[in-house]
Amino acid sequence: MEIFLNGRIGGIPHVNFENVHGIVINFRKRIKQNFLPVNLGKDVEIITIFLCLNGDITKFYESTGVYNIKYLKKNKKILIDLCIDESVWIGNESENEIIFLNNLKKLLLESADKIAMKFQKNKLDFDKKIFQNVIENNFKLGE
């Protein structure tokens, strides 16, 4: 199974996003590798996650959260929009990394619940527990 994590990073003056950008890149590599051997069900082949961080980009969303989960039946693809808005950041870079990772983990696990509800409603096959386990393991590897 393929998974893609695309980061859309806006800017705010008091936060240096170079560290967060590096974390996104490393996490993307890990998550991609760890999802390859996974089967989440016969109706899922690809998951694409759009992660919006700060600035003008996050103005499309009310606050930090999971938005716009879509399913493209033709190519068995799930699209997920995640947003971490500028209100969560503080000036300390190491604390910003922790804040970012905690928010990302929470949002990915929350997205599993929303995908499962949507799939159950439409009688589609999605293994929420496997998705959550892979996400949890990715964060354990990063600790």
The token pair that represents 123 in the structure block:
């009688």
Q: Compute the radius of gyration of the chain from its Cα atoms.
A: 15
Nearest to 100 by CA among 16, 40, 36: 16
- Give the separation between CA 37 and CA 92, rounded to whole angstroms: 37
Q: What is the mean pLDDT of residues 122-126?
A: 96
| Structural domain of 106 | 2-142
pLDDT higher than threshold 80 for residue 61: no
What confidence score (pLDDT) does residue 17 get?
63
Other CB atoms within a 10 A radius of the CB of residue 130 amount to 16
**What is the domain-level CATH number for residue 44?**
3.40.390
pLDDT digits (tens, 9 = 90+) for 69-114: 999 999 999 999 998 887 777 767 778 788 888 999 999 999 999 9
The token pair that represents 63 in the structure block:
């606050």
- Give the separation between CA 116 and CA 120, rounded to whole angstroms: 6
pLDDT digits (tens, 9 = 90+) for 3-57: 999 888 776 655 666 677 788 888 899 999 999 999 999 999 999 999 988 766 5
Q: Where are the beta strands (DSSP E) in 18-59?
A: 46-53
Number of compact structural domains in the chain: 1
Task: Give the global pTM.
Answer: 0.88
Are 30 and 141 a contacting pair, CB within 8 Å? yes
